[in-house]
Amino acid sequence: MDLIALFAGLLFPWLPGISVLLAMRSDRRPLTAPGEIAWLAGVGYLAGAFMLTLWMRALSLAGVRFGALQITLPLVVMSAAFGYIAWRRFGPALITAPAAAVRSLVASPGLSGAWRVLWWIAIAWISFRFAMLALEIAWRPLYPWDAWIQWATKARVWYELGRIVPFARPHEWFAASGLVYFDASPEYPPTMPLMQVWSCLLLGRWDDTLMNWPWWQIGVALALLVYGALRQLEIDATSALAGAFLVASLPLANVHVALAGYADLPMAAYYTCAALALLRWTVTRDARDAGLVLFLAFACTQIKNPGVVWVLTLIPGAALALTSRLSPKVVARVVVSGFAVVLLLLAVLVQTQATFFNYRLHLDFDLAWRALAESYFMYGNWNLLWYGALMAALLAGQRLLAAAPLAPLTIVVAGGLLFLFIVFGFSDARAWVTDQTTVNRATLHLAPLIAVFTVLAFRAFAVRWTDDHADPIAPG
């Protein structure tokens, strides 16, 4: 019975997320548009799960003890209200559109012969992979190190006390005479521990295995929203499925689902979702899509502290989208100038011994190039992701900055890579490049977006190739 309650409760975050998205979405794209249902399903879970944790934080501030009913009932009422608005706007399409989307996915749109077989194999592989990861979630206890000492510590205390209480560093804990709790990272946001608390509230007991189901759902949501976003950006179904396949098959992402408890996969999912929502806005220029970008950007800052910097990498992409009337040459100059300013600012900061998120910047640059190359190109962390991204970028050439949505995405990805370069080249975090731990976890935040970039860049090359080699139309 408790498992039934658990699964029902784990499906619950989709309810407020999807209902709000449906009620607030633009009428410009019908629900039957390619990728719309997959996008709503993927973003719906991430938005709904974050809303859930925001509500839990509000309850704790109000002095209301955590409980399944106290958390669920207000969100059900809110979902019903927004669902009613969505029904008034879209009516029976709310039922027919998802059914049509599922039929289209199974029917392999526009494919025949061997391509249709490959389509079904890809769908079957993704499904089988997530089924195996579900089994890992079901029977593997909480994995050690950061999951134990940074995240689940908060979840266990907050579950037992029924509210959020402060955590501090050991010396502050001693000074407070036990009035606060301590763990390895007391300054981290409460979002992910609250998701674990929610799972345990549904079970009615502390369970360090079953409380990790949100990581599996985040992995599924990430694959869905990538497919949906690519279809919305007018990518054909086969290429969009290839993009979702790339994301779902990233070895390190799969590890973070199976060994749930770290915040790096959620960070990657929310950041990717925010960036793709930004690309959607560059096409629609709708205020409601802009609002979704801001909401998801705020969510990024509440997953891990570095989320603040990841959000900053979205700003140049948004700025570039606002200058879409400029020529590619002017855009390239603006981009180069912007990165030059960042590097100049870095040169100043590294001489001041500045500290950001417990990382100390300094001028002594000594990036472990060999270890970094091994991590990205030799080991099995990323499959062929980085080879594909480099090849696609070279093939796309000048089109990387030619037009939306690829140009803003190029700038966002470049900003993300610059962030990683600064962290592992100019701070004491470079010590973790050689042991292949933090460097890969930090790169995971950007990796799904790299997969999307690869698909869009290769499409830009394919379009250019088709245009350059099109047969001239014979006169008369």
pLDDT tens digits for 9-56? Answer: 888 999 999 999 999 988 888 898 989 999 999 999 999 999 999 999
The number of angstroms, rounded, from the C-alpha of 311 to the middle of its chain's C-alpha atoms is 12
361: DSSP letter: B
- C-beta of residue 275 within 8 angstroms of C-beta of residue 446: no
State which of 37, 67, 101 marks the end of a domain.
101
CA 378 from centre of chain: 25
Task: Please identify which residue in the block is written with the tokens 């079904």.
Answer: 120
Is the confidence at residue 313, as pLDDT, over 70?
Answer: yes
Cα 242 from Cα 248, distance rounded (Å): 10
Burial of 52 (0-12, 13-18, 19+ CB in 10 A): buried
Whether 366 shows a pLDDT value over 70: the answer reads no
8 A C-beta contact, residue 296 and residue 304: no
Q: Shortest CA distance to 292 belongs to which of 276, 303, 308?
A: 276
Q: Determine the pLDDT at residue 475.
A: 46
Whether the model clears a pTM of 0.85, i.e. scores above it, the answer is: yes
- 247 CB-near residues (< 8 Å, 6+ apart): 222, 223, 226, 253, 448, 451, 452
Domain with 22 in it: 1-101
By CB neighbour count within 10 A (0-12 exposed, 13-18 middle, 19+ buried), where does 111 fall? middle
209 part of a folded domain: no
For 344-373, what is the mean pLDDT? 66
The predicted pLDDT at position 432 comes to 67
The model's pLDDT over 3-12, given as tens digits with 9 standing for 90+, comes to 677 777 888 9
How far apart (Å, rounded) are the C-alpha atoms in residues 400 and 387? 17
Residue 321 or 378, more confident? 378
Six token digits for residue 146: 């950061």
Q: How far is CA 171 from CA 157, 182, 188, 204, in A?
A: 19, 9, 17, 34
**Domain total for the chain?**
2
Q: Is 355 helix (H, G, I), strand (E, B) or coil?
A: strand
**What is the average pLDDT across 140-164?**
92
Alpha-carbon distance of 460 to 183, in angstroms, equals: 48
In a domain, 411, yes or no: yes
Residue 372 lies in a domain: yes
Nearest Cα residue to 262 out of 252, 272, 271: 252
pLDDT (average), residues 362-388: 82
What Å distances lie between residue 318 and 268, 274, 315, 416, CA to CA? 19, 11, 5, 14
Question: Which pLDDT does position 114 carry in this prediction?
Answer: 84
Give me the residues paired with residue 356 across strands: 359
Shortest CA distance to 63 belongs to which of 181, 163, 168?
163
What is the biggest distance separating any 2 CA atoms in the chain, rounded to whole angstroms? 92
**Residue 309 forms part of a structural domain:** yes
Q: Is residue 355 in some structural domain? A: yes
Amino acid 476: pLDDT: 42
Last-in-domain residue among 42, 75, 101 = 101
Instruction: Identify the pLDDT of residue 1.
Output: 61
163 within some domain: no
Say how far apart CA 2 and CA 205 lie, in whole Å. 10
pLDDT number for residue 153: 94
| DSSP secondary structure of 115-180 | HHHHHHHHHHHHHHHHHHHHHHHHHPPPPSTHIIIIIHHHHHHHHHHTS---EE-HHHHHHTTTSS
Over residues 228-250, the pLDDT tens digits come to 999 999 899 999 999 999 999 99
- 361 in a domain, yes or no? yes
Report if residue 332 sits inside a domain: yes
CA angle 409, 413, 417 (to 5 degrees): 170
Domain termination site, one of 81, 101, 121? 101
